[in-house]
A and B are shown apart, each in its own frame.
Chain A
Amino acid sequence: MAGLEERAGWLIDLYADPRDDLVVWILAEDGARLRLHQPFPITFYAAGPAADLRELWRFLQSDPAPLHLARGERHDLFAGRAIPVLAVRVACPADLGPVFHRAAERFPDLTYYDADITLSLRYAAVTGAFSLSFCRVAYEPSGRLREIESLGTPWELDPPALPLRILAVEPDVNPSHAPPQRLTVCCGNHTYSLDLRPERPLLLNLRGLLREHDPDLLLTTWGDTWLLPELMRLSCEHRLPLPLNRDPCRGVIRKEEKVYFSYGQVIHRGQQVHLAGRWHIDRANAMLWGDYGLEGIFELARITGLPVQTVARTSPGTGISSMQILTALRQGVLVPWHKQQTEDSRSAMDLFYADQGGLVYQPLIGLHRDVAGIDFVSMYPSIMVHYNISPETVGADRPGAEEIPELHMRVDRSHPGLVPLTLKPLLEKRIELKHRIAGLPAWNPQRKRYAAWASAYKWLLVTCFGYLGYKNARFGRIEAHQAVTAYGRETLLLAKEAAEEQGFTVLHLYVDGMWVKRPGASQVADFQPLLDRIAEVTRLPIALDGVYRWVAFLPSRRDARMPVANRYFGVFQDGSLKTRGIDSRRLDTPPFISRVQMAMLELLAGAEDAGALPAKLPGALGLLRRAAADLRAGRIPVADCVVTQKLSRTLEEFRSASPAARALAQLGAAGKSLRPGQRVRFLYIRGDQRVHAWDLPDTPPPEALDHERYLTLLLRAASNILQPLGLEEAVLRDWVLGGAVYLGLPGCWRLEDGLDPGVGLGLLPPPQNLPLPILGDTGWLPEESVRAGRD
Chain B
Amino acid sequence: MNISHHLDDATLLAFAAGTVGEAHGILVASHLAMCPTCRNALRKAEGLGGGILESQAGQAVSDVCRAATLASLDAVIAPKETYKPKSDLPLALARIMGDVNLADIHWHKRAPGVSVFDVPLSKGSKTKLKLVKLGKGRTMPEHGHGGEELTLILKGSYHDKMGRFSPGDVADLDAEIEHQPIVDSDEDCICVIAFETRAIYKTILAKLVQPFVGI
Partners in one complex: no
Which residues of A are in contact with B by a Cβ distance under 8 Å? none
Which residues of B are in contact with A by a Cβ distance under 8 Å? none
